[in-house]
Amino acid sequence: MKPTDFAKALSHYLAVYLPGQRNVSANTVKSYRDTFKLFLHYCKQSCNLSIERLCLRDIDKMLVLGFLDWLEKDRNNRVSTRNQRLACIHGFYRYMQLEDPVGLLLYQQILSIPIKKT
């Protein structure tokens, strides 16, 4: 199976960009990785999406909002945890704006999701 654009972008972001270009700690990379592990779990279990076929165009504002809601309601995460997960997602989409300007509108819609007040 041919890798999707999402798989390539996320792999590069976690393995090359964050540790190499942004020089973040290994713990930060793990935190971002864990966020996307949860997100992929949500996509598969709650939305019945095929992880192997998940493309950047499939991930929109409503999907991310559903994920954040799932974190709070189904996983009983606090708002602070939800906000930390959203910050990770925002970081990825800020990166994607520069890597893939064709998807700029979609990425900006995801970036418009606000941090919740605690």
Long-range contacts of 106-114 (CB under 8 A, 24+ apart): 106/56, 106/57, 106/59, 106/60, 109/60, 109/61, 110/59, 110/60, 110/61, 110/64, 112/61, 113/61, 113/64, 113/65, 113/68, 113/86
Q: Which pLDDT score, from 0 to 100, does residue 92 have? A: 98
Q: In this predicted structure, what is the pLDDT of residue 1?
A: 77
Domain boundaries, the chain: 5-111
Q: What is the pLDDT of residue 8?
A: 97
- The pLDDT profile of the chain, 118 residues, written as one tens digit per residue, is 789 999 999 999 999 999 999 999 999 999 999 999 999 999 999 999 999 999 999 999 999 999 999 999 999 999 999 999 999 999 999 999 999 999 999 999 999 999 999 7
pTM score, whole prediction? 0.95
